[in-house]
């Protein structure tokens, strides 16, 4: 059996025998587009959105929250903060169940928009929660991780305008990177 050298096959004969026809090219393009759409959909379908970002986007503006006559909980957080992510379900539950009683505002420390607030409240580790009464006046602060029952105790105190709980220690924190 003798094989032909593809370099010696005339161009016209080579293109007819080895290249795709118009219909095959069209089908290949359609299949490629469908495959790309399926892969994109699967990738987005398995990727859950960051609950902290969802809470932050649905938060009231800080100035509105501090002036609407409801107590306010402001959490300083970051996407990279594992402790902040651990506390997110409790914050989500508070926001969903107490939305008409308590404002929940999340401020991302990596967003330059909040630099002034970081300085005003002396934020140097996260999570840091600032607590305000219905008149928008600061009444307390919580540093570090708080479990769901501790968060509920804070919210009960805020909503009833009673003394804030005194936790024995600061919870786990994440240090903010220093810009030097």
Catalytically active residues are 81, 84
- What is the DSSP track for 71-112? -EEEEEE-TT-HHHHHHHHHHHHHHHHHTTT-EEEEEETTSG
**Tokens matching residue 97:** 């169940």
Residue whose token pair is 């959490």 = 75
Q: Which H/E stretch holds residue 128?
A: strand 128-132
């Amino acid at each position: 059996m003798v094989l032909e050298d593809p370099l010696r096959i005339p161009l016209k004969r080579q293109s007819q025998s080895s290249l795709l026809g118009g219909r095959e090219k069209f089908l290949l393009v359609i299949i490629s587009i469908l495959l790309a759409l399926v892969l994109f959909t699967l990738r987005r379908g398995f990727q859950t959105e960051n609950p902290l970002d969802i809470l932050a986007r649905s938060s009231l503006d800080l100035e509105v929250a501090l002036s609407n006559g409801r107590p306010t909980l402001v959490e300083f957080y970051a996407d990279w903060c594992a402790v902040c992510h651990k506390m997110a379900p409790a914050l989500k539950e508070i926001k969903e169940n107490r939305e008409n009683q308590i404002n929940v505002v999340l401020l991302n420390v990596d967003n330059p928009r909040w630099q002034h607030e970081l300085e005003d409240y002396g934020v140097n580790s996260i999570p840091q929660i600032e607590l305000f009464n219905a008149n928008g006046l600061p009444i307390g602060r919580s540093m570090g991780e708080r479990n769901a029952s501790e968060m509920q105790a804070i919210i009960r105190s805020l909503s009833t305008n009673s003394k804030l709980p005194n936790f024995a220690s600061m919870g786990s924190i994440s240090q903010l990177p220093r810009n030097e």
